[in-house]
Chains A and B, each alone.
Chain A
Amino acid sequence: ETGVTQSPTHLIKTRGQQVTLRCSSQSGHNTVSWYQQALGQGPQFIFQYYREEENGRGNFPPRFSGLQFPNYSSELNVNALELDDSALYLCASSLGQASGANVLTFGAGSRLTVL
């Protein structure tokens, strides 16, 4: 059974650029959630995708967008990058929508630095 894999692991962008981060969910999981973890902070919920549709969104502007594909993999896109977007972006997969029993499995994250 494979876990959650994310790519790229590290990347550097400049302000105003756009970035796409990718996530392959754990085998058998059909729901993907994205979190942003700034240095020294806990992860913050960006949004969740279930059956290829956005299913819940945190307090992030529209320039944060995502996709889920039929194979349940997912992308996070961020447009017009700002310095404060520098963070570790975590993807988590689960079977079904998040609940206590539907445990989230996290990937190792993509570390984005915006200069």
Chain B
Amino acid sequence: QKEVEQDPGPLSVPEGAIVSLNCTYSNSAFQYFMWYRQYSRKGPELLMYTYSSGNKEDGRFTAQVDKSSKYISLFIRDSQPSDSATYLCAALNTGFQKLVFGTGTRLLVSP
């Protein structure tokens, strides 16, 4: 079993839709949770990170972590064609050096 599981998609939505991207994880020691966006032929770009459980909002993006169910979510409101990319969730143990990534979900937002 992978430590971080993510549906690879693709997920296709019309412009303006609310997008929900999700991951599950198995390692209870994970404390930090990140969402990265990766455009084709580019490196991952950090969108948001959260510590432990809770919500964090930044513009159209909301990250949510539920440690009791080991569930990580990213919501995108009013999705735009420019949001079309692969979204990677990642988790990190405090004191360990490696980010553990999910497979990535490919999102396609059509005009």
Q: Footprint of B on A, CB under 8 Å?
A: 4, 33, 35, 40-45, 48, 55-56, 58, 90, 92, 97-100, 103-109
A45: chain B residues at CB < 8 Å are: 97-100
Number of interface residues of B (CB under 8 A): 28
Known interface pairs A42-B88, A43-B88, A100-B31; A56-B43 also in contact (CB < 8 Å): no
Residue of B nearest to A45 (CB): B98
Contact pick for B49, options A43, A55, A100, A105, CB 8 Å: A100
Query: Does B43 contact A48, Cβ atoms closer than 8 Å?
Result: no
A43: chain B residues at CB < 8 Å are: 44, 88, 99, 101
Q: Footprint of A on B, CB under 8 Å?
A: 4, 6, 8, 31-32, 34, 36, 41-46, 49, 51, 88, 90, 92, 94, 96-104
Query: Does A106 contact B43, Cβ atoms closer than 8 Å?
Result: yes
Known interface pairs A56-B97, A99-B32; A40-B103 also in contact (CB < 8 Å): yes
